[in-house]
């Protein structure tokens, strides 16, 4: 039995004593011990692919902070890599693919990867982390969303303008839908395998859903998130497996996302939690949404902002709130500031629970 199940309960809108908290990229470059392990591993993907080291970095933030969840250390681009696109990381330029998707033929050739074959390294890491966690806190599994994966696969890496991927979407929507459908099927198998291997909640990162028009978001991102929500095994050994969707920049259409039947939505800092809560009307729990840049300020300012975010969600009642940053923690943040942040969430949140 889990020693700390606040996180899972809050996602399922069940009563908890304090607001649970974790951070996107909590195992990351702001921690000197992470940088040490990363050096040992070699490249970033070497770290992801070595289950012992992936487990080691997953556990590191839990040794420093009273976090209410662990998240698998991995990358959102594991699926396209397993599809044979050749993921590599170019210094200062982020992720790149050797063989980007350029046309209908490239899309036709893509097969749904067997998660226990080319992605076995992820499942091995999940199992090992679960063992190492020893039921201290739950483990979150995750995947990139079909649309977000497609942006990297078609652009061949990061982009500011999304010209190639949107060009394909606008000019050849049938090719784009075929690609997104293959990706949605892959994400379902991948997340179900993570659940089978021990993930106790899963999150889908739709980092680039917010660059679409509202119409195109519905057709090219939300539609495939719906497919994933419908395809995921929502229980394992009698326990519910909560599903969290996070589209960055989606403040205007959180209500549509809540209708997918997911358990919770990630929320970035560009929307007030009070406003977000009104939009979803407690149909789902919310996870967020402090601006990660607050952590550049003083301990006092961080504590004040934690109080602001808690107050913005308000009395939890029939809702559910998991505290998080609105985006991944930045690499230049002082680790001692993070302790202030995590402790402040627990210290100041009891008043919002019954």
Catalog residues that contact its own copies under the rule CB under 8 A: 161-164, 166-167, 169-171, 210-216, 249, 251-252, 269-272, 275, 291-294, 296-298, 301, 305, 330, 332
Instruction: Write down the least CB distance from residue 304 to its own copies, Å.
Output: 10
**29 a catalytic residue:** yes
Instruction: Write down the least CB distance from residue 221 to its own copies, Å.
Output: 12
Closest to its own copies by CB, 187 or 222: 222
**Catalytic one among 29, 64, 223, 234?**
29
Instruction: Write down the least CB distance from residue 16 to its own copies, Å.
Output: 25
**Catalytic one among 5, 34, 65, 75?**
75
The C-alpha atoms of residue 186 and residue 144 are separated, in whole angstroms, by 11
**Catalytic one among 38, 130, 277, 337?**
38
**152 a catalytic residue:** yes
240 close to 11: Cβ distance less than 8 angstroms? no
**Catalytic one among 30, 34, 65, 152?**
152
Closest to its own copies by CB, 117 or 161: 161
**25 a catalytic residue:** yes
Closest to its own copies by CB, 30 or 190: 30
Closest to its own copies by CB, 126 or 258: 258
Instruction: Write down the least CB distance from residue 65 to its own copies, Å.
Output: 21
- Cβ atoms within 10 Å of 80's Cβ, excluding its own: 25
Q: Tokens 């990363």 correspond to what residue?
A: 38
251 close to 208: Cβ distance less than 8 angstroms? no
How many Å is the maximal CA-CA distance in the chain? 58
Q: Tokens 């500011």 correspond to what residue?
A: 160
Closest to its own copies by CB, 192 or 312: 312
Instruction: Write down the least CB distance from residue 167 to its own copies, Å.
Output: 3
Residues annotated as part of the active site:
25, 29, 38, 75, 152
């Amino acid at each position: 039995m889990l020693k700390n199940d606040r996180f899972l309960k809050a996602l399922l809108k069940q009563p908890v004593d304090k607001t649970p908290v974790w951070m996107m990229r909590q195992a990351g470059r702001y921690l000197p011990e992470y940088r040490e392990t990363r050096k040992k591993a070699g490249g970033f993907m070497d770290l992801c692919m070595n289950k012992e080291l992936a487990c080691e970095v997953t556990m590191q933030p839990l040794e420093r902070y009273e976090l209410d969840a662990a998240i698998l250390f991995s990358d959102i681009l594991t699926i396209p890599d397993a599809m044979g696109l050749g993921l590599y990381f170019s210094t200062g330029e982020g992720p790149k693919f050797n063989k980007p998707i350029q046309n209908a033929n490239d899309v036709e050739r893509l097969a749904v990867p067997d998660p226990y074959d080319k992605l076995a390294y992820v499942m091995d890491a999940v199992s090992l982390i679960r063992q190492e966690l020893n039921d201290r806190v739950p483990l979150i599994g995750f995947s990139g969303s079909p649309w977000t994966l497609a942006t990297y696969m078609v652009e061949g890496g990061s982009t500011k303008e999304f010209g190639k991927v949107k060009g394909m979407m606008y000019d050849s929507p049938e090719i784009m839908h075929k690609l997104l459908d293959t990706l949605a099927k892959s994400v379902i198998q991948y997340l179900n395998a993570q659940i089978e291997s021990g993930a106790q909640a899963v999150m889908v990162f739709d980092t680039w859903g917010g660059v679409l028009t509202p119409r195109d978001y519905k057709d090219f991102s939300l539609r495939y998130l719906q497919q994933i929500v419908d395809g995921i095994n929502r229980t394992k050994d009698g326990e519910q497996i909560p599903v969290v969707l996070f589209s960055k920049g989606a403040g205007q259409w959180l209500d549509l996302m809540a209708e997918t039947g997911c358990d919770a939505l990630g929320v970035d800092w560009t929307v007030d939690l009070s406003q977000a809560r009104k939009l979803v009307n407690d149909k789902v729990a919310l996870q967020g949404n402090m601006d990660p840049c607050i952590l550049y300020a003083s301990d006092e300012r961080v504590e004040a902002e934690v109080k602001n975010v808690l107050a913005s969600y308000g009395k939890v009642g029939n809702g559910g709130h998991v505290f998080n940053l609105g985006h991944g923690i930045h690499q230049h943040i002082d680790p001692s500031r993070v302790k202030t942040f995590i402790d402040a969430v627990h210290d100041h949140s009891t008043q919002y629970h019954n």
